[in-house]
Structure formats: structure tokens, C-alpha cells
């Protein structure tokens, strides 16, 4: 069933929501009220203000809207959710009672105190004199927050008493944001980050973490803004930090609001800080953050309509799937922002392929795109790491022409100052290898009258083995070579299996033979491996190939070690003369990798889990390969700054996450390049298998 959706709002946040909805297979029509010039390319814009609840309700009813999604806080504060629900209209967003978590700082602080949710200490005041006396008795800086909504301008960090007096006077005596209270908080130190979740009562669906940049100018200088950029992939927040924040802050807050009779039913935005005493709450918002939404939603692989509809309907949603990549977005703002600025300045967009452009304050004038707000647009790029995402984003920003725009040049600086390794993208590199093989296959067929042929044997029904075998056969099909999958019962005798291998050894049309390991216990794996003809041993495991590797004669090199060398070379590093340390001494990876590095003229040390003072050894490595099969074998303090680190491990940690042999978070802050898990070494094994099949084919044809 196709659905009709109304998105309420008109900035970059709503453009990102519309963009995500446009990718949904469940949506046939999108309206946006009021929308903007960029949104108009993906949705029909409706000239209704986001706070005109009566008009929006009338529009939704008359146009058969199946679901309304609310973007900005102003619409929520206008009571749109309560009004729509009373009219029987399905809507994604919090009720007025639930938005109290954002609209009242005092309410939020009292809630956190009651339910033991970590935050800064505080006091609330209605009288200017009392607030000033309290602030005067406390150390500076002082954090002063207006209790109600203030369009993001109700927080002042006063460096001294003069600034504090001015802020308190503005909030309490001059009623700059209306009559209300002021919350005075203890000043906390540490990096801030944003953690958004979809929440339906007690069900909490987390989104990727992000960090925005509030100050107008580079170096976090200048006045506060609505946000000048944001990014995902925060190296200073560990998985443990994230898990703590999810369980002890976001989930606990959802539980608390439900207990208070104010259940959440939209997005809960946690503005958090990593302090020396742990993760603490700076603020809560009851809606998508802006500009965080623009860098988070592009990473969503799941259908966003499903989670919107599930939350709005009160049903459980499917677990959300997210891309492994990261994003970085740069806001282009009108000169003068956040103060006075000119509108109506023409904008010319160059080639924006490969990035997303979310319009925040644009309009069409005589068919031309012009500025219509303080923050005008946000250019968002995706990449395997922040280096790639940043380069793509700023290259695209340079292709935006407008005399009246400015932007920050240091988005993501906190991450880069912490340390961010470049990611060695095994998926991309393996794809390039397979494409190389794919281009070679028709050439070989034209020259020799046949295609290379790979035979894969699987014994039994081991689920993991079946996945590996399917991937190998799929890769062979992609390259265009012939492949044969031979599936044998787990009860097959060792002799029967050996006879099947001998048939393939004698088959002149078969170039490569692979037997998927592990085998049933009653079969001797070594005997099976050594029964494969040396010249057809595409895995490179045969004792004659292993021996030839070590004495330096022609041989078939084992796939994973060969792939590791390819990954190292992809970084551009000259292996010659470098110090390489291989942690792991297996015959399948550790030892052959060491030999291949020696062949590249590196100075190589083989270490292992029982090496005395392993840290002293690994700290010498320009190239560090870790292949021991135990998580956290190597941590950041064991890595030489600027080293290239290859993580061969594949383990499940206590939380069930797939991890490698290194502590990725700490190592990536020190290394220059690092492989991820998954997506690093793993894909290369199959790619090198395809390349080895080509080499076996050529060697056999040359012997004819």
C-alpha cells in the first residue's frame, strides 16, 4: 500500500526528512508545509505556516494524508499533535505534555534528578536578585538557561559576573524571551555530542551519534548560531560511552516520561557531554536536531516510513539498519548571520553529484535560486571515513557561487584533533580487484577459447560455510568465469571426498579447486588440502605452494595474506625499508604475511600473544598486522603514531558486535590508516581467490 505523507516545516531538517521519505517504497505522495525551494524538487510545497494547526489539520483531512511528520519545535509547541490525534489523524511527534522535556529546563532537571539521570547540578530562580546572589557565590564560568523555549538563544555561558548580570537582567528583568524562570547550572567540561532516538513510549530506537558546531566562525569563535555544520563518526566517543548513554540516559528518560504520564512518541534529542566523570546531559529536545538530522538520516538503510508509522501507531518497529560510512555537512550562511543579513542574493550551484544539498533558507525568484534566510543550505557528503567525507563536502562547497555566503572551514575539527585514521576500504579495493578480473575474463576466452573455471566443494551444512561458499560462487559469476558448486553430504567418507578431488584434478576444464573449511571431524583436513593438485590450489594452502613461497620460487600465494599486501599498498606507503610487525603466527595468515612483507623488502618481526612485552615490539612498527583471533589484543597505546594497521581478526564481543583484534576506537586515534571490521580484510580474501583462479588458468595454459 502506498501512503500520502505531510511533513510540517520548511528548513534543512525537513528537507532531510523529505529526502529520506522520498526513498521509501511505501510512500507515493509527499507534501511539505511550508517547504522551501529545495524541498519543492522532492515534494509538493503547501503555503501553510507550520504553526497554523487548524489549516494543517484541514489540509490533512481533505487530502487523505495517511501520516503527518512534524519537524520544528514551534509546531509541537502549538499543540499540533494533540489536535491531530483528537481529530483521528495519524501524526509523528510529541504531545504538549511530552514536549515539556524541551520547553521547560526546570522540568527536565527535576525529571533527571528524580530518576537518577546524570546531569549537572542546578538551581532555579524567578527573582533577579536571588539568581545574581547565587551566581556571585559560585565559581565562573556560569551556565544560565532560560526555562522556556527561546529559539536556541536562551543559554548563556557567562565568563564573569559582568556577563552573568547582563544575561540575568535580559532574561528576568527585561523578559527577553517572555516571563519565566532561569536555571543556573554547574559548568561542565568536555566534548559535546548529540544522540537522537526514535521513541515510542518505552521503545527506543537509536540513531548514529553526531556533533554540531554552534559558533559562527572557525575555531569555535563568534556568536552562537543554529549550527554551522555537523558530522557523524565521533572518535572521542567509544562504544561503551554510547551504550551507557543509550541505556542510562535515553532509555531511562523514556521510562521516566512514561512513568510521569507524559509518554514520548517522536524523536528524543539528547545533547550530551563526555566529562571526566562520565556522560552527562546538557539538554533534551523533543524533535530532530538541526543540523544533525541532515548528517544522520542519509545513513539510514531502513525504510524511514516504517519507523515513523510505527511510532505514530504505537506498534513495534523493525530494528533500524544504518550504513557503516560517516557523513560531514557544511552550512552556507548569509553574511551577517546570526545578526542582520541580506535576502534575495542569487545562488548558482555547480556539479553537486556525489553529495546532498539540503536547503535551509532558499527561495525561487524569477526562476532563480536566491537566499531567503540566515542559514541558506547545507552540503552533506558521505565517505568511508571523515577524511573522505570532509574532502568531498568542501570540494562541493567550492562549487557553490554566491557573493553573500560564508561558511566554516573547520567542520569536524574536534574529531581531527582527537585523531582520525583514514580507513582502508576493503570493500572498495576488493571491488576494484574483481572488476580487474571481470575485464580479463573475456580477453582470456578470446585468446584461449575457454573461460577460467573454479570448482568449490562444501561438505555438510555449516551455516557460516554456506555463506562463504555462496559469496565465492557469486563473485565468480560476477567476474564472468565459470564456477561449479559441489555440495556433499556431511556423512561422506574421507576416501570418497579424496576421490572427488582427484576427479577434479584430472578434469582439464577445471583451473582452480577449493574445499571449504572446516570439514567434519572424521575427515583429515591436511590430507584433503594436500590432495588438491598444486597447480589448482587456489587457496595456496598446499604444502608445495607453502614451501615454494618460503624459498622464493613461483607459487600460488594464499588469498588472505595476498589481500593484506594489496590493502597496504593501497595506502600509497612504500613498504621497502619499513619496519613491519605481524602479531600472529598461523600458517594461514601470520607466517605467509610475514614472508610476503619480506618479499617487499620490509624488515619483519613475527610476534604473538605470548610475546614478552608485546607493546615494546608493536610500537616499532610502521606496518602492523594483527591476526590472533582475540579482541583488544592491540590498543592505541601499543601503536606507533602514523602506523598502518591491518586488523585480520573477526570476533564477537560481549555485546554481540563483530569486532577485530584491535581496539578500533583507540587505535584509529593514533594510526594513519586502519582496516575496519567488517569491511577490511574479509572482502579481499574472495577477491584474491578470483585473481588466483586467473593465475592458475594462465599457468596451465602456458604448460600446454
**Does 548 carry a binding-site annotation?**
no
The residues, any chain, with a CB within 8 Å of residue 129's CB and separated by 6 or more, are: none
User: Can you tell me the distance from the alpha carbon of 385 to that of 430, in angstroms, rounded to the nearest whole number?
Assistant: 17
Sign of the Cα torsion 443, 449, 452, 456 reads positive
How far is CA 99 from its chain centroid?
28
Question: How many CA within 13 A on the CB side of residue 548?
Answer: 15
Phi, psi of 644 (to 5 degrees): -95, 125
Q: How many CB atoms lie within 10 A of CB 655?
A: 9
Closest residue by Cα to residue 234 from 283, 272, 281: 272
Q: How many whole angstroms separate alpha carbon 231 and alpha carbon 291?
A: 9
Strands 3-9 vs 27-34: parallel, antiparallel or unpaired = parallel
Alpha carbon distance 205, 304 (integer Å): 12
C-alpha cell at 11: 528548513
3-state secondary structure at position 515:
strand
Per this entry, what is the length of the chain?
704
State CA 693 to chain mean position distance.
Answer: 35
* Alpha-carbon torsion angle 135, 138, 143, 146, nearest 10: -30
Cα torsion at 4, 7, 12, 18 (round to 10°)? -10
Q: Is 584 annotated as a binding residue?
A: yes
Three-class secondary structure of residue 567 per DSSP: helix
Cell numbers placing 100 = 515539556
| Contact yes or no for 268/250 (Cβ under 8 A) | yes
Distance CA 440, CA 690 (A): 11
Q: Are 557 and 549 contacting, i.e. CB atoms less than 8 angstroms apart?
A: yes
The closest alpha carbon to 84, from 119, 116, 58, 46, belongs to 58
- Distance separating alpha carbons of residues 678 and 685, to the nearest angstrom: 13
**CA atoms of 647 and 666, how far apart (whole Å):** 13
Residue 693's CB is within 10 A of a number of other CB atoms, namely: 29
What SS3 state is found at 407?
A: coil
Strands 122-125 and 182-185 turn out to be antiparallel
586 annotated ligand-binding residue: yes
What residues are designated binding site?
Answer: 584-586
Residue numbering of the annotated binding site for NADP(+): 584-586
Amino acid at each position: 500500500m502506498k501512503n500520502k505523507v505531510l511533513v510540517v516545516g520548511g528548513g534543512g531538517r525537513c528537507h532531510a526528512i523529505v529526502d529520506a521519505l522520498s526513498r521509501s517504497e511505501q510512500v507515493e505522495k509527499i507534501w511539505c508545509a511550508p517547504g522551501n525551494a529545495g524541498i519543492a524538487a522532492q515534494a509538493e510545497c503547501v503555503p501553510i505556516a507550520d504553526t497554523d494547526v487548524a489549516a494543517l489539520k484541514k489540509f490533512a483531512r481533505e487530502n487523505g494524508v495517511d501520516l503527518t511528520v512534524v519537524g520544528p519545535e514551534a509546531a509541537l509547541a502549538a499543540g499540533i499533535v494533540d489536535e491531530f490525534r483528537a481529530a483521528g489523524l495519524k501524526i509523528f511527534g510529541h504531545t504538549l505534555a511530552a514536549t515539556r522535556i524541551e520547553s521547560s529546563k526546570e522540568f527536565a532537571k527535576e525529571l533527571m534528578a528524580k530518576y537518577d539521570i546524570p546531569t549537572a547540578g542546578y538551581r532555579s530562580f524567578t527573582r533577579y536578585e536571588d539568581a545574581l546572589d547565587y551566581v556571585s557565590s559560585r565559581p565562573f564560568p556560569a551556565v544560565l538557561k532560560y526555562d522556556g523555549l527561546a529559539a536556541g538563544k536562551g543559554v548563556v555561558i557567562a565568563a564573569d559576573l559582568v556577563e552573568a548580570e547582563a544575561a540575568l537582567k535580559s532574561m528576568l528583568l527585561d523578559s527577553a524571551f517572555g516571563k519565566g524562570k532561569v536555571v543556573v547550572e554547574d559548568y561542565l567540561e568536555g566534548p559535546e555530542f548529540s544522540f537522537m532516538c526514535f521513541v515510542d513510549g518505552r521503545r527506543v530506537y537509536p540513531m548514529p551519534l553526531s556533533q554540531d558546531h554552534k559558533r559562527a566562525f572557525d575555531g569555535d569563535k563568534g556568536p552562537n548560531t543554529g549550527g554551522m555544520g555537523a558530522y557523524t563518526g565521533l572518535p572521542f566517543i567509544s562504544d561503551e560511552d554510547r551504550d551507557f548513554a543509550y541505556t542510562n540516559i535515553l532509555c531511562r528518560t523514556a521510562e521516566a516520561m512514561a512513568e510521569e504520564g507524559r509518554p514520548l512518541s517522536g524523536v528524543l534529542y539528547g545533547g550530551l557531554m563526555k566529562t571526566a566523570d562520565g556522560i552527562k546531559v546538557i539538554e533534551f529536545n523533543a524533535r530532530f536536531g538541526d543540523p544533525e538530522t541532515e548528517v544522520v538520516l542519509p545513513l539510514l538503510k531502513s525504510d524511514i516510513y516504517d519507523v515513523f508509522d510505527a511510532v505514530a501507531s504505537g506498534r513495534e518497529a523493525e530494528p533500524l539498519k544504518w550504513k557503516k560510512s560517516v557523513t560531514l555537512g557544511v552550512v552556507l550562511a548569509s553574511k551577517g548571520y546570526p545578526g542582520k543579513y541580506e535576502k534575495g542574493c542569487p545562488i548558482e550551484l555547480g556539479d553537486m553529484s556525489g553529495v546532498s544539498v539540503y536547503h535551509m533558507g532558499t527561495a525561487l525568484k524569477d526562476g532563480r535560486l536566491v537566499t531567503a534566510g540566515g542559514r541558506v543550505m547545507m552540503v552533506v557528503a558521505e565517505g568511508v571515513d571523515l577524511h573522505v567525507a570532509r574532502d568531498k563536502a568542501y570540494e562541493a562547497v567550492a562549487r557553490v557561487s554566491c557573493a553573500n555566503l560564508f561558511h566554516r572551514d573547520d567542520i569536524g575539527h574536534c574529531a581531527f584533533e582527537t585523531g582520525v585514521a583514514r580507513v582502508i576500504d576493503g570493500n572498495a579495493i576488493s571491488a576494484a580487484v574483481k572488476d580487474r578480473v571481470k575485464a580479463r575474463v573475456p580477453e582470456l576466452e578470446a585468446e584461449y577459447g575457454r573461460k577460467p573455471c573454479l570448482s568449490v566443494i562444501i561438505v555438510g551444512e555449516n551455516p557460516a560455510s554456506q555463506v562463504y561458499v555462496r559469496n565465492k560462487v557469486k563473485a565468480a559469476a560476477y567476474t564472468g568465469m565459470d564456477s561449479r558448486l559441489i555440495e556433499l553430504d556431511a556423512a561422506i567418507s574421507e576416501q570418497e571426498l579424496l576421490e572427488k578431488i582427484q576427479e577434479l584434478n584430472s578434469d582439464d576444464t577445471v583451473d582452480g579447486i577449493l574445499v571449504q573449511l572446516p570439514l567434519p571431524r572424521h575427515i583429515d583436513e591436511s590430507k584433503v588440502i594436500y590432495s588438491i593438485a598444486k597447480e589448482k590450489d587456489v587457496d595456496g594452502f598446499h604444502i608445495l605452494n607453502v614451501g615454494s613461497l618460503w624459498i622464493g620460487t613461483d607459487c600460488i600465494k594464499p588469498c588472505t595474506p595476498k589481500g593484506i599486501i594489496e590493502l597496504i599498498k593501497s595506502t600509497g606507503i612504500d613498504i621497502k625499508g619499513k619496519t613491519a610487525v605481524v602479531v600472529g603466527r598461523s600458517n594461514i595468515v601470520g607466517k605467509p604475511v610475514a614472508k610476503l612483507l619480506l618479499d617487499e623488502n620490509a624488515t619483519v618481526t613475527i610476534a604473538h600473544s605470548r610475546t614478552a612485552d608485546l607493546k615494546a615490539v608493536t610500537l616499532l612498527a610502521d606496518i602492523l598486522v594483527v591476526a590472533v583471533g582475540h579482541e583488544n589484543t592491540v590498543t592505541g597505546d601499543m601503536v606507533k603514531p602514523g602506523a598502518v594497521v591491518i586488523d585480520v581478526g573477526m570476533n564477537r564481543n560481549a555485546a554481540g558486535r563483530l569486532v577485530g583484534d584491535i581496539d578500533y576506537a583507540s587505535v584509529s586515534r593514533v594510526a594513519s590508516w586502519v582496516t575496519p571490521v567488517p569491511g577490511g580484510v574479509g572482502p579481499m580474501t574472495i577477491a584474491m581467490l578470483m585473481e588466483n583462479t586467473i593465475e592458475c588458468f594462465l599457468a596451465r595454459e602456458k604448460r600446454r
